[in-house]
Amino acid sequence: MKAFAHVSLLTLLIVISGLCKEDSCGSDASCVGLNNSYFCLCIDGYYYNSSKCNKGKVFPGTIKVKVSETTGLENEKSPAYEKLYMQIRKFFADAFKNPDYGQTVIHRVRTSAPARSEMRAGDKLVDVTVVNLFAETSEENETTVSNAINKAVASNPNTFSDYTKQNRCEFYGCVNEQDDCSDILQCKCKPGLSRPNPQTALCLALGPKCPDTCKAEYNMQCLVQSGGSLDCVCLPGYQRDAKGSCQACAFGYSGVNCEDPFQLILTIVGTIAGILILGMVIALIFLRSKTKGIEEQNLIENDYHSVRMSTTGFSNLGAEGSLFPKVQATFPKDSLMQNPYAQRSMPRPDY
């Protein structure tokens, strides 16, 4: 069987219709929304009851459940997941008549590859890993819990089958000491395992680790590659020098390993654009100045002519700036100038 979904621990105790609100579960628990309802979730090792989280004894195990549809089981808000949730909740609530029973938590849902590929109607088996929680002072043990579940399975053979109990220490990855890992948040993790944070009960395998110097203080960061390996690389805007240290990129370059020349291109383009704009402004000022000078010269000449006209009565000056205009008479080239007195007869004396 191969896991296709890994769902966070979900409390199966109180189901309320509607959507999660800010104060739905108080300050101790988280509100988990389903398709048409929600429930309250406490941290590992605690169960939600009487509007608060209570520390409890945990009993992990796996049970097979027949479902009509596996599509959407990885999504808490899907109708398929909500239906499975309701089946699990009702089954374990009916199985345990002990008042010390707190709740049941879904830890994981698994299905086989053939079941995933079947899209036609029909029942499909899924393995549901659960954790049953009882009051911390309860006298229940693995044997009594298993017997109660197997009895309930026998009464519901069409839906549930094959419950298998799991050792508490093995389930959480702890060393099996004298207390049988009764406090799952305090049990010692096996060598090579560790808890991601104090509120997580599961001890997980330690992955590869980057050097201690791989941090922002040294302009470095640790990245997880596609194959799961870790790689210590320079932060964006830095690149390694000959000594392996991460130094700031040269002017105009940025990005991973300083491979992005966008800033340099932007600077060059901006400089060229600035030069062009400055040239256009200077040319415009020069043209405006030249045009203004011509207009002023024309105005001065017009004013000068107006003054001459008002003073001399002539609109145009004489030759060489004389106030008296030169009068010129023209004659045809083929005619000779005649003496005006040549044809006039002298008066005869009257005597």
pLDDT in tens, 245-257: 898 888 888 777 7
280 and 234 inside one domain: no
In a domain, 208, yes or no: no
- Provide the domain count of the chain: 3
Which pair of tokens denotes residue 215? Answer: 């941090």
| Chain segment 109-153, per-residue pLDDT in tens | 887 655 555 544 567 889 999 999 999 899 988 899 999 999 999
250 and 265 inside one domain: no
In a domain, 81, yes or no: yes
In a domain, 196, yes or no: no
223 and 289 inside one domain: no
28 and 89 inside one domain: yes
156 and 284 inside one domain: no
226 and 285 inside one domain: no
The one-letter amino acid at 198: P
Q: Which residues of 207-240 are buried (b: 16+ CB within 10 A; e: fewer)?
A: eeebeeebeeebbbbeeeeeeeeeeebbeebbbe
Does 224 score more than 90 pLDDT? no
CATH of the domain at 26: 3.30.70
The number of angstroms, rounded, from the C-alpha of 22 to the middle of its chain's C-alpha atoms is 25
The pLDDT of residue 316: 54
The pLDDT of residue 126: 92
8 and 111 inside one domain: yes
Distances (CA, A) of 332 to 282, 336, 337: 59, 8, 10
Give me the domain span that covers residue 221.
Answer: 216-258
In a domain, 326, yes or no: no
In a domain, 244, yes or no: yes
221 and 238 inside one domain: yes
115 and 223 inside one domain: no
For the chain, the residue count is 351
Which are the contacts of 92, defined by CB distance < 8 A and separation ≥ 6?
A: 12, 104, 130, 132, 149, 152
Does 13 score more than 50 pLDDT? no
222 and 128 inside one domain: no
Q: How far, in Å, CA of 245 to CA of 238, rounded?
A: 9
139 and 222 inside one domain: no
Mean pLDDT throughout 58-75?
89
Query: For 180-184, 230-234, 290-294, 311-315, which range has the lowest pLDDT when averaged over its residues?
Result: 311-315
95 and 28 inside one domain: yes
Distances (CA, A) of 288 to 277, 278, 282, 300: 16, 15, 10, 18
